[in-house]
Amino acid sequence: MTQTITMTGTYYDINGRDWYEDVLDDQGRELYDMIEDRCPEFSKLDAQECQEFMDELSEHGINTAEQFENAYFWQTDVWNAEAEFAAYVADEIQCLDMDALSYLVIDWQATWDRALCYDFFTIEFDGETYFFSNYF
């Protein structure tokens, strides 16, 4: 099965293995390997989808494995990803005991909208929402 891959305005009619070997340079292969290591479901994508995801990362300034490693934070497939992320940050990162605070009513979406969205950006791709730090 061949696919058309766009990379810097050039079209490639190529399969996944050839795309990895022939189209990606060393930096691109390192980035792909880092994404696959951190996001195992990435390996199920075809070459065109992988390139689209990497292009979207590039639009946010993530072009190397090191930048991805520094920026990648979390991912989820829930419908209210931003609110879920805000709760995750409160529970895991800020070490709040969510059980002890069970009497509070917290608007997690508002937490994202008013605070966290300035420090993180998201990429929605293939049913997943990926969260990245703006400070990589």
pLDDT tens by residue, 38-96? 998 888 888 999 999 999 999 999 999 999 999 999 999 999 999 999 989 988 877 77
pTM of the prediction?
Answer: 0.79
pLDDT tens by residue, 15-28? 566 888 889 999 99
Q: What is the rounded average pLDDT for all residues in the chain?
A: 86
For residues 13 and 48, the model is more confident at: 48
**Long-range contacts (CB closer than 8 Å, 24 or more residues apart) made by 110-114:** 111/83, 111/86, 112/82, 112/83, 112/85, 112/86, 113/82
Q: How far is C-alpha 38 from the geometric centre of its chain's CA atoms?
A: 9
Q: What is the residue type of 58?
A: S
